[in-house]
Amino acid sequence: MNKMIKFQDLGSKDFKATWDYQETLFKAILDTKIKNRREAAGLETDNHFLFVEHPHVYTLGKSGDLTNLLLSEAQLTEKGATFYKINRGGDITYHGPGQIVGYPILDLDNFFTDIHKYLRLLEEIIILTLAEYGLKTERSPGETGVWLDVGTPFARKICAMGVRASRWVTMHGFALNVNADLGYFDNIIPCGIRGKAVTSLNIELGVDTVDEAELKTKLLKHFADLFEARFV
């Protein structure tokens, strides 16, 4: 089993270009697995992890409801935002500047073959990282992602998640609001969940800006620990 993960920070990159790149990496892993099965080749499969920040974009998962997007095509253009229907699970979400997006493209045969465990570990990475900033975050029953004040009228989501998996190979991942403009969330019903707010780390900490480079380092450390992996 290969527990080394090839890491790349793509900086600011268009959503569609990044999606296409994910698909290329995803397909390469699948092709290796298919070749191994067909030829008993014993080839090692790769794992990848991408950090990226997208320009303003709304994405709708394959089971999502388009009515959760509250903007017309003209209004999207006015706001400088784009929209895509994509092949991950989940409903609608927003990506934009000030948000750290993480895309693990892993062959779970290298780690464990359990999608439920995979999602819970992604959540745990965020929970442990935000604990380093003095925040108590947690899971909300039946709602994937990471939240504050679960079970109260003040419940709010700080990190959304949505993944795709085929033959135990993953893509897409998580979106953590760090220095995000939350006004863009007003244009959707986030994740299809009515009556609950979203938040950003800088707001929770009462600061103008959180150091995103430092935060990324903490995320990678917890990822490596929980997956018993090494980034290269």
Domains of the chain listed by start with CATH number: 4-231 (3.30.930.10)
pLDDT number for residue 40: 84
Could you read off the pLDDT of 28-48 as tens digits, one per residue? 999 999 999 888 888 999 999
> Average pLDDT in the 144-171 region?
95
Q: Which of 12-26, 29-43, 81-95, 181-195 has the highest mean pLDDT?
A: 12-26
Phi and psi torsions of 200, nearest 5°: -135, 150
Tokens for 229, please give them: 């992996």
Mean pLDDT score across all residues of the chain = 94
Task: Enter the pTM of the model.
Answer: 0.95
> Whole-angstrom Cα distance, residue 159 to residue 101?
9
Please, which pLDDT band fits residue 67 given cuts at 50, 70 and 90? confident
Residue 195 has pLDDT above 70, yes or no: no
Nearest alpha carbon to residue 219 among 111, 56, 104, 98? 104
1 or 229: which leads in pLDDT: 229
- Could you tell me if 15 and 22 are in contact, meaning their C-beta atoms sit under 8 angstroms apart? no
Average pLDDT score over residue span 157-169? 95
Q: Cβ distance 159 to 126 under 8 Å?
A: yes
pLDDT at 3: 97
SS3 113: coil
Q: Radius of gyration of the chain from Cα atoms?
A: 18
pLDDT at 193: 57
- 159 a catalytic residue: no
Distance between CA 192 and CA 195 in Å, rounded? Answer: 10
Does residue 190 register a pLDDT over 80?
no
Are the C-beta atoms of residues 59 and 81 closer than 8 Å to each other?
no
> Which of the following is catalytic: 81, 105, 108, 191?
191
pLDDT of residue 165: 96
Q: Are 136 and 60 in contact (CB under 8 A)?
A: no
Instruction: For residue range 85-130, list pLDDT tens digits in order.
Output: 998 977 888 999 999 999 999 999 999 999 999 999 999 999 999 9
Beta bridge partners of 48: 6, 105
Cα gap 221→97, rounded to integer Å:
23
- Residue identified by tokens 């779970």 is 108
Q: Percentage of residues in the chain with pLDDT exceeding 70?
A: 97
Are the beta carbons of 177 and 158 closer than 8 angstroms?
yes
